[in-house]
Amino acid sequence: MATTARAKHWADLLAEEIIRQRGRSHVVNTGITPSGEIHIGNMREVVTADAIHRVLKAQADACRFLYIADTYDPLRRVYPFLDPQQYQDNVGKPLSEIPCPCQGHPSYAEHFLAPFLRSLERLGIAPTVHRADQLYKAGAYTETIITALRARDQIRRILKEETGRETPEDWSPFNPICLACGRLTHTQVMGFSATEQTVDYVCACGQRGAVPMAGGGKLTWRVDWPARWKIFGVTVEPFGKDHASKGGSYDTGLRIAREVYGNEAPHPVPYEWLSLAGKGDMSSSKGNVLSIHAMLEVVPPEVLRYLILRTPPQRSIKIDPGLPLLQLIDEYDDVEAQNRDSRALELSAISGISPVRVPFRHMVTVVQVAQGDDATLVEALQRGGYRVENLEGLRQRAAYAQRWLETFAPEELRFRIQAQLPTGVAELTLAQKQALQLMGERLRAEMSGEEIHQLIYTIKDELGTKPDLVFKAIYLALLGKTQGPRAGWFLSTLDTSFVKRRFAEAAA
């Protein structure tokens, strides 16, 4: 048991505050625009929301969790990953109305949304998913559109007061989708009818006409957001710090919510960015993103949750998929033993997944010894002193370790046991040969990694040589290179008679 009291987890503190301020019935909302690959940086929003939802569900009377995909947002420009020929004409059209880049999805929006929703499932995150285009087309926004069009001048004043910038004279909170060119970025509102529920417009392409409020356009982002709060009764929402800046869309949204829609803005949970080590804050436009899919190939989903949840939203997170990632996975497995952030661990748990209790670093060694053979994997783990109870879990971890090795591992952690005596042993000094000779004689199958480690140190003392020379000799004889995994533990995973034979051969 812990002797010191831990500080409460941020999600518990936040939930207490939200219940105190906003009562016992909640709607947690999130929203991401599927204009490009939804990356690991975007993930923070839904993982943060999911943790808050889990706590509120346990402590309040009711809690709903929504994810609204901004499928009705226009394509802003031809991104570097798009074919300019195919997409130039689609700039300004809603993402839901543009063809998908691979031709395998019903729309551009769905192309990026589908893999994200699959990742959510793997992460054990199950919000009610809405697509903005469907909400608009079904008329869910119509009432808020009428209210906004009527309050145009009032909204303009709020925007001016909060942002310090004047909107153009012909500004409208509603952007009609031109019936001729399909763009919602070049239209101008000329009037509207609340009874007909239509909006009159002219477009830069020369077209003029009337569109229905349901499916004929969308509210501009700064009004769309508070309209969404009104429609769904949102009480809590995490969002990127860009929206939280002074005069940002939360500030204007809060006033539009209160003064135009007559409801309270959600409790804000602004979060900091995730950055990629050596590459800065992740952003699709900078091209330095790590895809959720790539990350879930090498990190178990519960560890990815833990990576995000152990840090409060207002602090930035730096992801280094090399060695630090390996340490993080070990920290996750060790959390209970070392009493690290056990609450973050609880909030990261996904049902049906139990810890395997083999350090990931060791797994990285063992999979390279096993080379894809399950029986060898189990033997190597058992020789290393690990009990094999959860074979399926171990197999999964082994697969993660293998993919991590292939994708992110630094060169010094990669190795291959050489079937033949490597030619490099010709360079061994007399002292190194003597060390291998003694190792070969004294090594016993029942020795633990720690004991073999001690043996290496005893032998180097007896020979009066430096430890790294002994380590180099061991690696050269087995791997044909001068670096390798921590020698004692590494040797403990190998077949002892093979190692004894090899060392004798190298010393001869």
Least CB distance to Zn ion at residue 114 (A): 8
In terms of phi and psi (left: phi > 0; alpha: psi -120 to 50; beta: otherwise), the region of 65 is beta
7, 58, 62, 205: which one binds Zn ion (CB under 5 A):
205
Residue closer to Zn ion, measured from CB, 176 or 301: 176
Residue closer to Zn ion, measured from CB, 93 or 152: 93
Least CB distance to Zn ion at residue 28 (A): 29
Q: Output the CA–CA distances (angstroms, integers) from residue 5 to 1, 15, 135, 361, in the order listed.
A: 10, 20, 47, 30
Q: What residue type is assigned to position 407 of the chain?
A: T
Least CB distance to Zn ion at residue 254 (A): 34
Burial zone of 462 (CB within 10 Å; 0-12 exposed, 13-18 middle, 19+ buried): exposed
d(CA 236, CA 27) in angstroms, rounded, equals: 6
Residue closer to Zn ion, measured from CB, 185 or 496: 185
Instruction: By CB under 5 A, tell whether 180 contacts Zn ion.
Output: yes
CB atoms within 10 A of CB 209: 17
Residue closer to Zn ion, measured from CB, 156 or 186: 186
- SS (HEC) of 217-256: EEECHHHHHHHHHHHHCCCEEEEEHHHHCCCCHHHHHHHH
Least CB distance to Zn ion at residue 115 (A): 9
Q: Output the CA–CA distances (angstroms, integers) from residue 384 to 44, 71, 326, 331, 459, in the order listed.
A: 37, 52, 19, 20, 21
Handedness of CA 143, 222, 274, 69 (dihedral sign): positive
Instruction: By CB under 5 A, tell whether 105 contacts Zn ion.
Output: yes
- Show the site string, 217-256: x = touches Zn ion by CB under 5 A, - = not: ----------------------------------------
Instruction: By CB under 5 A, tell whether 203 contacts Zn ion.
Output: yes
Instruction: By CB under 5 A, tell whether 318 contacts Zn ion.
Output: no
- Show the site string, 85-104: x = touches Zn ion by CB under 5 A, - = not: ---------------x-x-x
Instruction: By CB under 5 A, tell whether 265 contacts Zn ion.
Output: no
Contact 502, 491 (CB under 8 A): no
* Per-residue tokens: 337: 């033993």
Q: What residue type is assigned to position 383 of the chain?
A: R
Binding region for Zn ion (CB under 5 A) out of 75-83, 153-161, 206-214, 321-329: 206-214
Instruction: By CB under 5 A, tell whether 207 contacts Zn ion.
Output: yes
Residue closer to Zn ion, measured from CB, 204 or 277: 204
40, 181, 363, 479: which one binds Zn ion (CB under 5 A):
181
- DSSP-based three-state secondary structure for 508: coil
Least CB distance to Zn ion at residue 384 (A): 45
Residue closer to Zn ion, measured from CB, 188 or 496: 188
Residue closer to Zn ion, measured from CB, 99 or 422: 99
Residue closer to Zn ion, measured from CB, 100 or 317: 100
Q: Number of C-alpha atoms within 13 angstroms, CB side, residue 488?
A: 16
Instruction: By CB under 5 A, tell whether 56 contacts Zn ion.
Output: no
Binding region for Zn ion (CB under 5 A) out of 107-115, 224-232, 343-351, 475-483: 107-115
Instruction: By CB under 5 A, tell whether 78 contacts Zn ion.
Output: no
Which DSSP helix (H) or strand (E) runs through 208? strand 208-212
What is the contact surface with Zn ion in residues (CB under 5 A)? Answer: 100, 102, 104-105, 111, 178, 180-181, 203, 205, 207
